[in-house]
Chain A
Amino acid sequence: GAGVSQSPRYKVAKRGQDVALRCDPISGHVSLFWYQQALGQGPEFLTYFQNEAQLDKSGLPSDRFFAERPEGSVSTLKIQRTQQEDSAVYLCASIPRVGTDTQYFGPGTRLTVL
């Protein structure tokens, strides 16, 4: 079946603009994660959803970052007033059930803030 998809794949924003990044998890997957991968680094956890509930947002770097998953499927990561340090690849991952150890990753969205 289809894997995790993310859109757009590439996004260029001017500093100060708001952006919205979309994640479509594998159909039926209960849990969804967002990670931020800076250039030359490993992914770092941002936030976690179980169905529509955001259970952990401890990794969000500032209050400019906001994520939602209103119907328990598609998720959107919104960044307000983007800064250059927000430039990174944003990865989404999903798992079919709580407690599943393997996360399935999407291709990521590369955000460049000029």
Chain B
Amino acid sequence: AQSVTQLDSQVPVFEEAPVELRCNYSSSVSVYLFWYVQYPNQGLQLLLKYLSGSTLVKGINGFEAEFNKSQTSFHLRKPSVHISDTAEYFCAVLNTGRRALTFGSGTRLQVQP
């Protein structure tokens, strides 16, 4: 079994400030890790993913995430946020032996002017 925990349900931040959205996972087998973003009334869009190799992965819109196996974490970061980054962010894992994604409960990023 696997699970994903997103510790913060909401993160308010001012425009141009840095942000970190936290994600921890548990799994007994190797996993692939993902961050998806969901804008209002839209589907999920892939931000970035970790499959193997370098633990620091860069995604779209200036986001990056670091895989930490010892801490079973995959935190998402952006050095300077924009108003347009306001959205719901979901961390997810894909068990390499299973086909479906397991999602966290999401973090709402609210960027304030």
Contacts and interface: CB of A to CB of B under 8 A. Distances in A.
Q: Do A and B bind each other?
A: yes
Interface of A: 3-4, 31, 33, 35, 40-45, 48, 55-56, 59, 91, 93, 101-103, 105-108
B91 to A, nearest CB: 8
Contact of B100 (A42, A56, A107): A56
A41 B100 CA distance: 17
A7 to B, nearest CB: 13
Contacts of B32: 101
A42 B22 CA distance: 15
Given A31-B99, A33-B100, A91-B43, A41 B51 contact: no
B50 to A, nearest CB: 10
Interface residues of B, number: 25
- Top 9 nearest A-B pairs (CB, nearest first) are A42-B103, A105-B43, A45-B100, A105-B44, A107-B43, A42-B105, A43-B103, A106-B43, A42-B106
B83 interface: no
Majority secondary structure, A binding face? loop
Given A4-B43, A31-B99, A107-B42, 4 more contacts: A41-B106, A43-B90, A45-B102, A55-B99
Interface of B: 4, 6, 9, 32, 34, 36, 41-46, 49, 51, 90, 92, 94, 99-106
A101 to B, nearest CB: 5
B45 A105 contact: yes
Contacts of B43: 3-4, 91, 105-108
A82 B76 CA distance: 38
Contacts of B45: 105
Contacts of B106: 40-42
30 contacts: A31-B99, A33-B99, A35-B101, A40-B105, A40-B106, A41-B106, A42-B6, A42-B104, A42-B105, A43-B44, A43-B90, A43-B103, A45-B100, A48-B99, A48-B100, A56-B100, A91-B44, A93-B44, A101-B49, A102-B34, A102-B46, A102-B49, A103-B101, A105-B36, A105-B43, A106-B43, A107-B41, A107-B42, A107-B43, A108-B43
